[in-house]
Amino acid sequence: MTTNVASPRSRRRFNARVAEATMLPVAFVVVVAIFGLLRPSTFFQFSNFTNILGLNSVELVLVMALLIPLTNGDLDLSVAELSGMVAVLVGWLNVNHGWPIVPAILVGIAAAAICGMVNGAIVVRFDVNPFIVTLATGSVFDGIAFWLPDQQTIPGISPRLTQWTVLHHFLGIPLDFWYGVVILVIMFYVLTFTPFGQRALFVGQSREVARLSGFNVKSTRFWGFAVAGVIAGISGVISDGVLSTATPQNQGTLLLSVYAAAFLGLTTVQPGRFNAIGAGISVFFLAVAVNGMNLLGAQTYVQSLFYGVFLVVAVVLSRMIARGRAASAAT
């Protein structure tokens, strides 16, 4: 009797879950189809796809920086500025000071690690809102980025870096994409297959539960920020390679695009959790949409509009998923 009642309901619930997890991939296909129909000659070129994959590695890497802090329940708003600062720092050492590129990169990433640790230390030690702290440190990083090269663009960064990011290919796709994939896989592993990742879930869900379970909440949050710093640094280095110049600039659009991707990723693959694969797919979903609109002749300011709208849509969607789960749990 009860099984008769329960089975259609559980089937419906299962269907809802599948629909939920595949919503974004389906939307992806639809978007590709639409642009393909509208601009079949340019959009469907193989080079267009390799371009999209190769040119969005900065976003792909940077969104991975957000995942551990977000799982911990922390917002890190400084990652984009930090990425920009490291890009400038590496270029400045390499071009203005004649350092070989490898030591310049190592120093850049070390600096990024220290900046991430400073974020974490301030947040954890003084128990202050990370939103405000990283908003402020982001502004500091931005300031340093403009200060180092005296507000000038740094041209002519070592061609070796460019070779090892965009010029060398693997399976027909530039290497920088594969760097992003490697970081994605590592992040997926850390969040899904390590006790650290699972403890971070508890920290993000309820600090009190985590604390009374003997988890070191402070250290988990601290390392979240530190890792975010390192990954942001890597994305800065990749941006040097892609552009072969470093320009101090406002990173608002970049920050918005990675947050849009992280929250959009929350709705797919492992719905309700910040997950690496979902975030990775979302980066390219957004990139394809922007690329398509550019091919249709849209101006660059469309990006700002688009990322803003999508961040709102993603947050609302993820909220609806959480509510839907609560409701199905209640029945």
Exactly one of 64, 199, 263, 290 binds another protein (CB under 8 A); that residue is 199
How far, in Å, CA of 108 to CA of 90, rounded? Answer: 6
Report yes or no: 254 and 247 within 8 Å, Cβ to Cβ. no
Q: Residue 8 or 195: which CB sits closer to another protein? A: 195
Q: Yes or no: say if 157 and 237 are a contact pair by the CB < 8 Å rule.
A: no
Q: What is the spatial distance between Cα 200 and Cα 275, in angstroms, rounded to a whole number? A: 13
Interactions with another protein, residue window 42-101 (CB under 8 A)? none
| Residues in CB range of 135: below 8 A, 6 or more apart | 77, 78
Query: Looking only at residues 254 through 293 of this chain, which bind another protein when binding is defined by CB under 8 A?
Result: 272
- Bridge partners of 246, per DSSP, are 154
* Smallest distance from another protein to CB 229, Å: 24
Residue 320 sits in the site that holds another protein (CB under 8 A): no
Which residues, 6+ apart, have CB-to-CB distance to 11 below 8 Å?
Answer: none
CB of 271 to another protein, least distance (A): 12
Least distance to another protein, CB of residue 195, Å: 4
Give the integer Cα–Cα distance in Å for 5 and 284.
42
Among 15, 198, 250, 304, binds another protein (CB under 8 A): 198
Q: Which of 229, 231, 232, 287 has the alpha carbon at shortest distance from 257?
A: 287
Of 166 and 217, CB closest to another protein: 217
Which listed residue (139, 194, 250, 304) binds another protein by CB under 8 A?
194
Q: Which phi and psi angles does 247 have, rounded to 5°?
A: -120, 125
User: Is position 136 an interface residue for another protein (rule: CB under 8 A)?
Assistant: no
By CB under 8 A, residue 192 contacts another protein: yes
Answer whether 238's CB lies under 8 Å from 135's CB.
no
Q: Minimum Å distance from CB 329 to another protein?
A: 4
34-51 as b/e, with b when 16 or more CB fall inside 10 Å?
Answer: ebeeebeebbeeeebbbb
Least distance (Å) between residue 210 CB and another protein? 8
For another protein (CB under 8 A), the number of binding residues is: 27
Q: How far is the CB of 183 from another protein (least distance, A)?
A: 18
The least CB distance from residue 287 to another protein, in Å, is: 31
Task: Decide if residue 206 touches another protein (CB under 8 A).
Answer: yes
**Interface of this chain with another protein, residues 139 to 178, rule: CB under 8 A:** none
Q: x/- binding map, residues 214-253, to another protein, per CB under 8 A?
A: xxx-------------------------------------
Query: What residues have CB less than 8 Å from 92, skipping those under 6 apart?
Result: 148, 149, 154, 246
Binding site for another protein (CB under 8 A): 189, 192-195, 197-199, 201-202, 205-206, 208-209, 211-216, 272, 322, 325-326, 328-330
